[in-house]
Chains A and B, each alone.
Chain A
Amino acid sequence: MSNKVIHALYNDDDVLMDAVKQTRLAHHHIEEVYTPFPVHGLDKAMGLAPTRIAICSFLFGLTGLAFATWLMNNIMIQDWPQDIGGKPSFSYIQNMPAFVPIMFEETVFFAAHLMVITFYMRSKLWPFKEAENPDVRTTDDHFLMEVAVNNNESELTSFLQSTGAVEVKVVEKH
C-alpha cells in the first residue's frame, strides 16, 4: 500500500478553518495541519484532545515543594541545627517563614522547567532536530492541511479544491 497523502494549501486562516470543518464532516482523516501562527480554535475544529501539560506542571510543582521542604529540613534542622542570629531551629515549623521564599521558588522552578522539558519531549523538539515542515511557505504565509489518501485520490482532490484550497497536490510520504 502506498503512503500517499494530499497537501492542500490555503492562504487564509478563516478558509482553513472552514476547510477543516468540512473535511471532518466528510469523514476524511486529517493527518496534520501546518500553520505559520496559532489559529484560534483550530484544535477544537480538528477534534484534538485537550492538553494535560497543566496537570503535569501541577505535579512538578508539588515535587519542587516537597524537595525544598526536605532540603531545608535536612540542612537547617536535622543535620546541623545551629543558632544563626537567634532563629529557632528546633523544628521545621518554628523556622518555616524563613524557608518559604525558597519553597516558593523551588515550586515555581520545578513546575516551569520540568513542564518545558516535558513539552519538548512530547513535541519531539531538540537542537539539531530535522525540520518537518512539508512546504517552506507554511512558515510564512500559507496554511497546509495534510489528508490521508485511501484509494480515493481523485475524489479527495476535487473535494479539497472545493474547500477553497489555492493548491492541492498528491505527495508520496516516506
Chain B
Amino acid sequence: MYTFSSKLKNVAIILMVLGLLGIGYGFFSAPKNTEDVEKILAADAHGEHHAAPAAHGEAKHEAAPAHAEEKHAVEAVKDSATVVAHGLDSVATHLEEAHLAEAAKPVAHDTHTKDAHAEAAHGDAHADEHKEHVEHVLHQLQNKPWAALYVGALFVFLIALGVLAFYAIQWASQAGWSPVLFRVMEAITAYLVPGGIILFVLLVLSCLHFNHLFVWMDPEVVAKDHLIQGKSGYLNVPFFLIRAVVFLGGWILYRTYTRKNSIALDETNDLSYYKKNFKASAGFLAFFLVSESMMSWDWIMSVDPHWFSTLFGWYVFASFVVSAITVIALVALYLKSKGYLEFVNNSHIHDLAKYMFGFSVFWTYLWFSQFMLIWYANIPEEVTYFKFRIEHYNLPFFGMVVMNFVFPILILINTDFKRVPWIIWMAGIIILSGHYLDFHNMIFPATVGDQWFIGAAELGSVAFFAGLFIYVVFSALTKAPLLAKGNPLIEESKHFHY
C-alpha cells in the first residue's frame, strides 16, 4: 500500500494556495468598468506620443515576425501597438486596429479609434468609436481571469480523461504489458470527479452570464448574428448543459464501474469481473469517441462560434492523450523512485515513452493537417482563426509546435534515452507545457483577443489545478494496493521485457 508522503501533500497544498492567490489576483486586477480601461489605454497612449510611427511598425513586427504580408505592412503603420508590462499579471495591452478575426465576431468593434486618427480627426463619430473600443477591451480584460481559470480546469481535467481512454484501450486490447500500471491509471482518473464538477460549475457560471467566454450564450449577440442564429439548434444553453451532464456522467460512470470491478477482481479472483471490465471498456470506447468529439465542439470550438473544423475533435484528443500518457509515465517514475513500484521495470517506462513519442507525432500530424488545409485554401471564413493566432499569438502558436514536436522527436527517438528517467522527466515537462500552451491558444484568442498574457492568473490557475490533481491522485493511490494482482495478465505484465 502507498502512503501519501506529507512532503508531497504539502507541495500539493502549497500549489493550491499559491494558485488560488494567483486566480484571486487575476480577478482582482481585472478592470471593473470602462474608466479603468481608459486609464490603461491612457497609460499606453502616453507612451505612444513619444514614440515615432516607425517604432510602432517595429514593435508590431517583433510581435509577429513571421507575418510579412504586404497587407500587414500597411496595417502596421496604422497600428499603434505598445506593450506595457503591468507588474506580474500585467496585461500586455495593445491598442490596435481590430483584425479580421475580431471583425468576424458579433460584437461590433471593427471601427476602433486610433490615436493617429485622434490627432487627425476629432468629432462625435470618433467619440462613439472610442467608446465602443473601450467597451470591447473591457470585455476582453474581464474575460481574462475567467479564461485563465477555464484553460487550467479544462487542461488538467482532460489529462485525467485521456488516462481513462488509455486505460480503456488497455482493457479492450488485453494488453499484456500494462496491468502493473492499472492502479496508477485508476488513481489518476480519480480526478475526473472533482475536476468534472469544477469544470461543470464553470460552464454553468458561463451560462449564467458571469463571464463572456461563450459569446453565443449572450442573447443580445445572438439577436444580431445570423450565423449564430443558424446554429442555435445545437448551441443553446439548456442543450449545452444537458450534453455536458451526459458526457461527464458517462465518463465518471465508466470510471467508477471499472474501478469497482478491478478491486473486486483482486479480492475474489473471479474472472467474471475481468470480462465485465472488458465489455465495459469496449462499450466505453465507442461512447468516448462520440462524446469526446462533441465535447471538443462544445467546450472548445464554440468559443469561436463562427469557425468550424472537421478534425477538431481528433486534434483535441491527440493533445490531451499525449499529455495523459506523459502524466502516467511521470507518476510511475515518481512512485518507482520512492520504491513503490518494484514490479515496474524500465521496459514499461520505455513503452510509455514510445507512446509519448508516437502521440506527439500524431498530434503534430493533426495540427499540421488542420493548419495546412486551411492555409492552403485560404477561405476567409476559416482562415481568420489562424490569421489572428499568427498575428497576435505568434510565439505561443509556433513555440508549441517546437515543444510538442521538434523537442520530443529529437529526444525520444533514441531507444536508450527512453529508459533514462531524467530524460523522460525533461521531455514530459516540455510536452506538458507545450500542450498547456496548445489549450491556451485554443481558448484565449476568442475570449481575450490580443489582451492575452501568461501571468499570475494563468500560472495560478495551472498551479491550483495541478495541486488539486496531485492531492486527489495520490490520495486515491493510498486506497488500493499498487499491484492489481487479480488480473489474469498480471504475471505477463510483471515479467514484461522489451
Tell me the A residues contacting B by CB distance below 8 Å. Answer: 54, 58, 86, 88, 90, 93-94, 97-98, 100
Q: Report the bound CA distance from A28 to B371 in whole Å.
A: 61
For A97, give its contact among B68, B375, B413 (CB under 8 Å).
B375
- Chain B contact residues: over half helix, strand or loop, or mixed? loop
> A86, A97, A98: which has the most chain B beta carbons within 10 Å?
A97
Q: Report the bound CA distance from A58 to B66 in whole Å.
A: 29
Q: Which chain A residues lie closer than 8 Å to B420 at the CB level?
A: none
* B371 in contact with A97 (CB, 8 Å): yes
- For the A-B complex, the count of residue pairs with Cβ-Cβ distances under 8 Å equals 16
Q: Report the bound CA distance from A88 to B413 in whole Å.
A: 34
> Besides the contacts A58-B413, A88-B69, A97-B368, what 13 more A-B pairs have beta carbons closer than 8 Å?
A54-B415, A86-B378, A90-B68, A93-B66, A94-B68, A97-B371, A97-B372, A97-B375, A97-B376, A98-B372, A98-B376, A100-B368, A100-B372
- Contacts of B385-421 to chain A: CB distance below 8 A: 413, 415
Q: Which chain B residues lie closer than 8 Å to A58 at the CB level?
A: 413
Q: Which chain B residues lie closer than 8 Å to A97 at the CB level?
A: 368, 371-372, 375-376
User: Can you name the residue of chain A whose Cβ is closest to the Cβ of B373?
Assistant: A97
16 of the cross-chain contacts (CB-CB < 8 Å) are A54-B415, A58-B413, A86-B378, A88-B69, A90-B68, A93-B66, A94-B68, A97-B368, A97-B371, A97-B372, A97-B375, A97-B376, A98-B372, A98-B376, A100-B368, A100-B372
Interface size class on chain B is 10 to 19
Q: Which chain B residues lie closer than 8 Å to A98 at the CB level?
A: 372, 376
Q: Which chain A residues lie closer than 8 Å to B66 at the CB level?
A: 93
User: Can you name the residue of chain B whose Cβ is closest to the Cβ of A101?
Assistant: B372
Q: Which chain A residues lie closer than 8 Å to B413 at the CB level?
A: 58
User: Can you name the residue of chain B whose Cβ is closest to the Cβ of A98?
Assistant: B376
User: Can you name the residue of chain B whose Cβ is closest to the Cβ of A87?
Assistant: B376
Q: Which chain A residues lie closer than 8 Å to B378 at the CB level?
A: 86
Convert B134-166 into 0s and 1s, putting 1 for each residue whose CB lies closer than 8 angstroms to a CB of A: 000000000000000000000000000000000
Q: Report the bound CA distance from A88 to B67 in whole Å.
A: 12
Q: Which chain B residues lie closer than 8 Å to A94 at the CB level?
A: 68
Q: Report the bound CA distance from A58 to B413 in whole Å.
A: 9
- Contacts of B32-89 to chain A: CB distance below 8 A: 66, 68-69
Q: Report the bound CA distance from A54 to B413 in whole Å.
A: 10
Convert B345-389 into 0s and 1s, putting 1 for each residue whose CB lies closer than 8 angstroms to a CB of A: 000000000000000000000001001100110100000000000
Q: Report the bound CA distance from A135 to B111 in whole Å.
A: 87
Q: Report the bound CA distance from A100 to B378 in whole Å.
A: 17
* Shortest CB distance B413–A (Å): 7
Q: Which chain B residues lie closer than 8 Å to A100 at the CB level?
A: 368, 372
Q: Report the bound CA distance from A86 to B69 in whole Å.
A: 12
Convert B79-109 into 0s and 1s, putting 1 for each residue whose CB lies closer than 8 angstroms to a CB of A: 0000000000000000000000000000000
User: Can you name the residue of chain A whose Cβ is closest to the Cβ of B378?
Assistant: A86
User: Can you name the residue of chain B whose Cβ is closest to the Cβ of A58?
Assistant: B413
* Shortest CB distance B368–A (Å): 7
Q: Report the bound CA distance from A88 to B371 in whole Å.
A: 16
Q: Which chain A residues lie closer than 8 Å to B368 at the CB level?
A: 97, 100
Q: Report the bound CA distance from A72 to B380 in whole Å.
A: 27
Q: Which chain A residues lie closer than 8 Å to B371 at the CB level?
A: 97
* Shortest CB distance B420–A (Å): 17
* Shortest CB distance A94–B (Å): 7
Q: Report the bound CA distance from A45 to B35 in whole Å.
A: 79
Closest 8 CB pairs of A and B: A97-B372, A97-B375, A98-B376, A100-B368, A100-B372, A97-B376, A97-B371, A93-B66
Q: Report the bound CA distance from A24 to B415 in whole Å.
A: 27
Q: Report the bound CA distance from A94 to B70 in whole Å.
A: 12
Q: Report the bound CA distance from A88 to B68 in whole Å.
A: 10
